[in-house]
Structure 1
């Protein structure tokens, strides 16, 4: 099942097989109540986050990226939330735009797609994750800063300084997949 878990949140590609019977039923309820919004979000958003915060505290968030496929660690553009209300019905909570000065970014996007996904090279994305996690540029157990673009850019600068040739080689291979 392709998904990424962070605490009680599960991230998965919109068209993923991650959506088991219960989670699929939640999506179906949202789809029936907000058909036009659901259709639009399914087209413009790449990832859905499912938050399971308890039996009556559930949330589904559609996440839109600036360029999910081409960026190794894509910037989140906006997210659209649905939550269960006091009547145990799904309601739309609204849209939230990301910060323009220090936006949230995504790591390990390869965990959110299945092997049939063709939007980017899963093998290269996995290699990228291995490369930066083993580099020593950051303690990845401390997740307080890693999801922000400004901090991540400083990590990438360190990574490039450690081994410029290896860094350039990887970036060239990542870019080459779009030139085919």
Structure 2
């Protein structure tokens, strides 16, 4: 059990356990099934089916994938965001922050904050250009290079995510998700 901070009712929650508010009589106790296609259960009621929503499936899959990557990188004391930047620098050391932001899909301020933490951790260093001090390039340190054995991390993640999916299905999945992404970015 864990206490949720800043909760005025001090709800006690634990994964798939029953939840109840202390001092309040709840008409329905709610349990959430944590699986990707989970249902919301109400005491003495039938399961509430989730809507057929692509955005919900993508959101749940993204969260589950992020948690899986977090677990896989924990032993190296790296975040997924740091690994993505390291993977870019392993391919092309000395990138501009704007280039790193484009590569990672972050905006420049967000990429800069991640790089700040990486610099504090000794993974990278910022080097001003000798020709123009306004231009700053990001370089790997020896410590940052020492993680290059993780350069195939994305392949390990893909292998876990695509388990039981044929190569042709995986190709189709990448194509379809690429089109979904383009549709989402294109608006209406």
TM-score normalised to structure 1 length: 0.30
TM-score normalised to structure 2 length: 0.29
More strand by share: 1
Which has the higher relative contact order, 1 or 2, with Cα contacts under 8 A spaced 6 or more apart? 1
Larger Rg: 2
